[in-house]
Chains A and B, each alone.
Chain A
Amino acid sequence: MRPILMKGHERPLTFLKYNRDGDILFSCAKDHTPTVWFADNGERLGTYRGHNGAVWTCDVSRDSMRLLTGSADQTAKLWNVQTGTQLYTFNFGSPARSVEFSVGDKLASEESVLVIKGPQGRINRAVWGPLNRTIISAGEDAVIRIWDSETGKLLRESDKESGHKKTITSLTKAADGSHFLTGSLDKSAKLLDTRTLTLIKTYGTERPANAVAMSPLLDHVVLGGGHDASAVTTTDHRAGKFEAKFYDKILKEEIGGVKGHFGPINALAFNPDGKSFSSGGEDGYVRLHHSDPDYFNIKI
């Protein structure tokens, strides 16, 4: 099917998030305004004005009532999804790169409860582990760590030998939170067990992986990326390098690619029903792809 091009951002996209019902899609970009869209036809519903810096990330509560955004203006903001009003601002000493509601959407207080320090370099992603007991972090030092969310103690570290070699750019959990997928500039994506941090699969690609997504429906993973914009002219002129690549989750074999962006892909998200996905690029576009019927019958 022809993708729906959603042009609402003026700067490169950074993050995409569907709500649990899969009917609306939130997009974050380096312009300061997170935007919400109908996930079906790509119509713009509204924007959330108030941030004063690039918005790196967002999360939506289970009941789709609250939106949490993290920004380079060193704040995270809580919004009313329907009205677009700011409910609360969390202030930090550094840009907020990753936010996520805990299971139950309840853990929040005005003061920070726990600050975990330690790893070198920027942390690009931090997500809750099962039952809010752990926090999983990943970032510039290419190591994935599991922390105790009560005490802040380091519980596990990913293996250096088999782990990523360069900055981890993205991390996405499976629907049931049992495993997660990380994408890295070392041109690979890795699938790990959430509880034991065991490396299960590695997907190799030809370019840095900026964004990863897992189909909730089929055993497919999607990798998006591309070279830095500064290197674009020195690389292949064919737009093919900015494809979103589909891989078989189990066999690790490439299934196909979805072309279209004319800049690297920065964000990918699957609709929870698994029948559509969207990609956000350095080019400022969000492309919404509804899968063809053929897609569900792919055999390799």
Chain B
Amino acid sequence: MAAEVKLMNEIEATAAQMDIDMNIDFSSIQLPPGENFGIISDDEDVYHDDQLELDSGFGNVIVVDNLPVVPREKFEKLEGVLRKIYSQIGVIKEDGLWMPVDPETKKTLGYCFIEYNTPQEAELAKEKTHGYKLDRAHIFAVNMFDDFDKYMKVPDEWAPPEIKPYTPGENLQKWLADEKARDQFVIRAGTDTEVLWNDARQSKTELVYKRTYWTESFVQWSPMGTYLATVHRQGAAVWGGANTFNRLMRYAHPQVKLIDFSPGEKFLVTYSSHEPSNPRDANRVVINIFDVRTGKVMRDFKGSADEFAIGGAGGVAGVSWPIFRWGGGKEDKYFAKLGKNMISVYETETFSLIDKKSLKVENVVDFSWSPTDPIIALFVPELGGGNQPARVSLVQIPGKEELRQKNLFSISDCKMYWQSNGEYLAVKADRYTKTKKSTYTGFELFRIRERDIPIEVLELDNKNDKIIAFAWEPKGHRFAVIHGDNPRPDISFYTMRSTHNLGRVSKLTTLKGKQANALFWSPGGRFIVLAGLKGFNGQLEFFNVDELETMATAEHFMATDVEWDPTGRYVATSVTSVHEMENGFNIWSFNGKLLYRILKDHFFQFLWRPRPPSFLTPEKEEEIAKNLKKYSKKYEAEDQDVSMLLSEQDREKRRMLKEEWEKWVEVWRRAHEEEQLERQKLRDGEASGEEEEYEAKEVEVEEVLDVSEESLLEIFVREFWVMTFMFEWVGEHWTELSTLAVQKLFDEKPLTDLTEEDEEIIKSVVAGTIPSYSLESELGDCKRAVAIRRESLQRLMGKSLSGLPLEGFDYKSILGFHCEMPIEYVQISEGIVGLLLLNGGEFSVPMATTEGCLVASTNRESLF
């Protein structure tokens, strides 16, 4: 760098002499590819060779050449020197240093082998000591042992590469052409991994492929569903194919921990972290970027975990995944990494930094790409104790110009949410209150597609509400927020478009007191599942945002995950093995109808196979939506066929089962008869024929219900006359009727059927001649007493008590014990606890409470 600066100074001086304007934007200069004019990129490890681990087992051995040739007397001295040099770098294995000796001259041959504990150490030793000057004549030449084979294999003469004839590959997208337009998903339970069709019409699954020990940790679909990636000790692999799953490619990366596909699934990023040999050092991190189709390593990154732990989630684990975030939509053009005071943006054409420079941003802590455009949104927190405000800015790549910037004051934290089409960006900003003791939340909404990117500030009705979840409607203009304090937060829906003045955010509705802590929009928008996971025991509400109405509420007890299928037709909820019990998954229709339920112990993963984006143009899609009725006819007919077929199959299956059973029964009957005599003998001759004492017989009972035949016309005519008569009658009695109706409006519906005698009593109670408390003893019928008390109370107060429960309670049981003058009862939930040790005995004890967790915690502390 220093040389570069000097060079620049010289140029400037020369330029000044020659009277040339030097105000050139250097970033706009495009250098010819492959030529750097002596300017070194700050991305120095770009030309490092990829280090594939070969399976020879010698990955941790290096060969040090150019050693002095020494006679036997000096052998030990030389070995001592070498040990001193190489044991600084890593732990040399016992007997891991071997210097061969020429058997004739008894002198060393000028090279030695050193074996380390790990390949990483060996690699480091090679890097550090290659070119080491022992003295003037002996400059070390260090190589990996494995490389020798590789270099030896290179033929001396160049031969033209053999051109293989083109063989068409399998159609990897064949699953999309399923006749029944079903979707696939993968599940992992126990040691098995299965890919299944979701045959929702028949309420079952159909197996596509199953394999035991398919992966060593997890599986992952590529973003467009073409590949299924598995993770192994040696590296990652992708699988796919027309009808089954074949291994398409392997990506060697020992001890790979995490993988990530680029959005266009062109590249695969693999990550591993290795324990250092010296416990004081940070873990060594290795990241490889592979080309998915060729399996070639496009770029690798190595370093200590600290380098990759800047920003992100922080914490003990350090590295936040994915380290490299892909931008520029499905074209996989750019990827970027957060560094200290910079964001390193790489392009995939050359796999080097754009303009060979990272994007310098002081103190940047977070950034995110627009899902569709090469735009980065980055966040810089407050500096200098609030003197320098926090800011969010949008930066265009590759130009690196700032499109928009917004300064934010007294910010404690900030999160960015992009809408899936990249039209909107919501920045959730947590601000300190004036006292700095607490925070409140507001949103900054960016409209990316509009001129100058207008920003709007949104604050919730109640500013102090905590934000529990936020989610954009995919491809839409609405978003949902869960806010408020547990246990029953509110959910609000907002739209970025409003009917009156376009370009203003407006609230659609607020749902009060929902048991939800997570939001799951349908991928097609419009529908959303409001889920109460974990603490809320798996409450689900299927909500239609167009109509603002709840379609269904349901529960999948202890559900841990919710996922929509890529078409937005079905929802899968699952209980994974984080929870001990009831592992398995449920499949629901989009409107909350439970279609089927499968239980599997040790259930780890449920993933729908993603679909690539549709090739239809928006116009075409609109046309289809318009003519939906026409298309739906065809599918409805198909549905009907399926259900017909299903019931047909069902009947057939039942018949088979019955027949099979009859056969067994026949076999048993015969055996039973054969053994009858012997059995009688065993029972001292007691006849055993009477064993079949009871037998079920099916008796068909036909009852003819009253059949009446009338022609439709007759009914119509009669109806007509009735109507006419009514109109006439109403006309005559209109005044009386209207007073009646008005009276009816004022009269509360009586609680029960009150007799005239009751009416009398009520009047006396209202008048005060009969005291209300004496009703029970006067009447002897406790329920009647309650009804009368309520009725009189209603009249006295002029308020209705009609919602209170009356029926279903034994009022006699409380008389004189629990409650006087009852008018209703309240239900209290009751749990069972125990066994408890009471007076030396073990008891299950009922516990009535409305306090959550009380029964559960008592139970936990009980004897078990």
The 8 Å CB contact of A233, one of B675, B691, B856, is B856
Q: Considering the chains assembled together, what is the distance between the CA atoms of A62 and B844 in angstroms?
A: 37
Interface: B661 (CB within 8 A): yes
The interface residues of chain A lying within 8 Å CB-to-CB of B106 are: none
C-beta contact mask, A220-259 vs B, less than 8 Å → 1, else 0? 0000000101111111111000000000011110000000
Q: Considering the chains assembled together, what is the distance between the CA atoms of A245 and B558 in angstroms?
A: 23
Interface: A115 (CB within 8 A): no
The interface residues of chain B lying within 8 Å CB-to-CB of A252 are: 657
A62 touches B691 (CB 8 A): no
* Given A103-B679, A233-B856, A250-B658, CB of A178 within 8 Å of CB of B696: no
Q: Considering the chains assembled together, what is the distance between the CA atoms of A41 and B514 in angstroms?
A: 48
* Given A193-B664, A233-B860, CB of A262 within 8 Å of CB of B599: no
B691 touches A131 (CB 8 A): no
Chain B residue nearest to A283 (CB atoms) is B844
B580 touches A234 (CB 8 A): yes
Interface: A11 (CB within 8 A): yes
B664 touches A236 (CB 8 A): no
B841 touches A10 (CB 8 A): yes
Chain A residue nearest to B654 (CB atoms) is A251
B668 touches A176 (CB 8 A): yes
Interface residues on A, range: 35 or more
The interface residues of chain B lying within 8 Å CB-to-CB of A103 are: 679, 682-683
Interface: B565 (CB within 8 A): no
Which of B558, B671, B841 has the most chain A CB within a 10 Å cutoff?
A: B671
Q: Considering the chains assembled together, what is the distance between the CA atoms of A10 and B837 in angstroms?
A: 13
Dominant SS among interface residues on chain B = mixed
B671 touches A195 (CB 8 A): yes
Q: Considering the chains assembled together, what is the distance between the CA atoms of A1 and B609 in angstroms?
A: 50
B599 touches A272 (CB 8 A): no
Interface: B719 (CB within 8 A): no
* Given A193-B664, A234-B581, CB of A104 within 8 Å of CB of B683: yes
Q: Considering the chains assembled together, what is the distance between the CA atoms of A106 and B581 in angstroms?
A: 47
Interface: B672 (CB within 8 A): yes
* Given A131-B675, A229-B864, CB of A235 within 8 Å of CB of B581: yes
Chain B residue nearest to A174 (CB atoms) is B668
The 8 Å CB contact of B696, one of A176, A217, A284, is A217
The interface residues of chain A lying within 8 Å CB-to-CB of B694 are: 216-217, 272-274
B841 touches A251 (CB 8 A): no
Q: How many residues belonging to B are interface residues under a CB distance threshold of 8 Å?
A: 38
B859 touches A233 (CB 8 A): yes
B691 touches A175 (CB 8 A): yes
Interface: A296 (CB within 8 A): yes
Interface: B638 (CB within 8 A): no
Q: How far is the CB of A186 from chain B (nearest CB, A)?
A: 9
A130 touches B671 (CB 8 A): yes
The interface residues of chain A lying within 8 Å CB-to-CB of B683 are: 62, 103-104
The interface residues of chain A lying within 8 Å CB-to-CB of B832 are: 262, 283
Interface: A200 (CB within 8 A): yes
A131 touches B682 (CB 8 A): yes
Interface: A132 (CB within 8 A): yes
Interface: A218 (CB within 8 A): yes
Interface: A159 (CB within 8 A): no
The interface residues of chain B lying within 8 Å CB-to-CB of A187 are: 599
C-beta contact mask, B840-851 vs A, less than 8 Å → 1, else 0? 011010000000
The interface residues of chain A lying within 8 Å CB-to-CB of B682 are: 102-104, 106, 131-132
A-B contacts at CB below 8 angstroms, number:
84
Interface: A43 (CB within 8 A): no
Q: Considering the chains assembled together, what is the distance between the CA atoms of A176 and B689 in angstroms?
A: 11
The interface residues of chain B lying within 8 Å CB-to-CB of A10 are: 841-842
C-beta contact mask, A261-273 vs B, less than 8 Å → 1, else 0? 0110000000011
Q: Considering the chains assembled together, what is the distance between the CA atoms of A252 and B660 in angstroms?
A: 13
Q: Considering the chains assembled together, what is the distance between the CA atoms of A193 and B693 in angstroms?
A: 22
Interface: A150 (CB within 8 A): no
The interface residues of chain A lying within 8 Å CB-to-CB of B557 are: 236, 238
Interface: B810 (CB within 8 A): no
Interface: A125 (CB within 8 A): no
Q: Considering the chains assembled together, what is the distance between the CA atoms of A241 and B682 in angstroms?
A: 44
Q: Considering the chains assembled together, what is the distance between the CA atoms of A204 and B634 in angstroms?
A: 37
The 8 Å CB contact of A231, one of B581, B657, B841, is B581
The interface residues of chain B lying within 8 Å CB-to-CB of A232 are: 859
C-beta contact mask, B349-369 vs A, less than 8 Å → 1, else 0? 000000000000000000000
The interface residues of chain B lying within 8 Å CB-to-CB of A179 are: 664, 668
The interface residues of chain A lying within 8 Å CB-to-CB of B661 are: 219, 249-250
Interface: A206 (CB within 8 A): yes
Interface: B162 (CB within 8 A): no
Q: Considering the chains assembled together, what is the distance between the CA atoms of A190 and B580 in angstroms?
A: 25
Interface: B702 (CB within 8 A): no
Chain B residue nearest to A105 (CB atoms) is B683
From 806 to 864 in chain B, residues with beta carbon under 8 angstroms from any chain A beta carbon are: 831-832, 835, 841-842, 844, 856, 859-860, 864
Q: Considering the chains assembled together, what is the distance between the CA atoms of A193 and B667 in angstroms?
A: 10
The interface residues of chain B lying within 8 Å CB-to-CB of A131 are: 675, 678-679, 682
Interface: B684 (CB within 8 A): yes
Chain A residue nearest to B672 (CB atoms) is A176
Q: Considering the chains assembled together, what is the distance between the CA atoms of A200 and B665 in angstroms?
A: 12
Q: Considering the chains assembled together, what is the distance between the CA atoms of A219 and B698 in angstroms?
A: 12
The interface residues of chain B lying within 8 Å CB-to-CB of A216 are: 694
Q: Considering the chains assembled together, what is the distance between the CA atoms of A251 and B658 in angstroms?
A: 8
The interface residues of chain B lying within 8 Å CB-to-CB of A104 are: 682-684
Chain A residue nearest to B579 (CB atoms) is A234
From 99 to 140 in chain A, residues with beta carbon under 8 angstroms from any chain B beta carbon are: 102-104, 106, 130-132
Q: Considering the chains assembled together, what is the distance between the CA atoms of A235 and B661 in angstroms?
A: 37
The interface residues of chain B lying within 8 Å CB-to-CB of A106 are: 682
Chain B residue nearest to A186 (CB atoms) is B601
A200 touches B859 (CB 8 A): no
Q: Considering the chains assembled together, what is the distance between the CA atoms of A178 and B661 in angstroms?
A: 13
A250 touches B657 (CB 8 A): yes
Q: Considering the chains assembled together, what is the distance between the CA atoms of A249 and B657 in angstroms?
A: 10
The interface residues of chain A lying within 8 Å CB-to-CB of B490 are: none
C-beta contact mask, B645-678 vs A, less than 8 Å → 1, else 0? 0000000001001100100100010011001001
Q: Considering the chains assembled together, what is the distance between the CA atoms of A218 and B695 in angstroms?
A: 8
A200 touches B599 (CB 8 A): no
A206 touches B672 (CB 8 A): no
A251 touches B657 (CB 8 A): yes
A230 touches B599 (CB 8 A): no
From 29 to 61 in chain A, residues with beta carbon under 8 angstroms from any chain B beta carbon are: none
B582 touches A130 (CB 8 A): no
Q: Considering the chains assembled together, what is the distance between the CA atoms of A263 and B835 in angstroms?
A: 11
The 8 Å CB contact of A178, one of B654, B668, B841, B844, is B668
Q: Considering the chains assembled together, what is the distance between the CA atoms of A233 and B675 in angstroms?
A: 51
Chain A residue nearest to B846 (CB atoms) is A262
Q: Considering the chains assembled together, what is the distance between the CA atoms of A230 and B671 in angstroms?
A: 45
The interface residues of chain B lying within 8 Å CB-to-CB of A102 are: 682
The interface residues of chain A lying within 8 Å CB-to-CB of B864 are: 229-230
C-beta contact mask, B562-602 vs A, less than 8 Å → 1, else 0? 00000000000000000111100000000000000001000
Chain B residue nearest to A175 (CB atoms) is B691
Q: How far is the CB of B728 from chain A (nearest CB, A)?
A: 49
The interface residues of chain A lying within 8 Å CB-to-CB of B581 are: 227, 231, 234-236
Q: How far is the CB of A212 from chain B (nearest CB, A)?
A: 18
9 extra interchain contacts, Cβ-Cβ under 8 A, other than A176-B691, A251-B654, A262-B844? A11-B842, A176-B668, A187-B599, A206-B582, A233-B860, A234-B580, A251-B657, A252-B657, A274-B694
29 A-B pairs (CB sep. < 8 Å): A10-B842, A103-B679, A103-B683, A104-B682, A106-B682, A131-B675, A175-B691, A187-B599, A200-B664, A216-B694, A217-B694, A217-B696, A218-B696, A227-B581, A232-B859, A233-B859, A234-B579, A234-B580, A235-B581, A236-B557, A236-B581, A236-B582, A251-B654, A262-B832, A262-B844, A263-B844, A273-B693, A273-B694, A296-B696
Binding site for A on B (CB under 8 A): 537, 557-558, 579-582, 599, 654, 657-658, 661, 664, 668, 671-672, 675, 678-679, 682-684, 691-696, 831-832, 835, 841-842, 844, 856, 859-860, 864
What 4 pairs across the A-B complex have the smallest Cβ distances? A178-B668, A104-B682, A230-B864, A235-B581
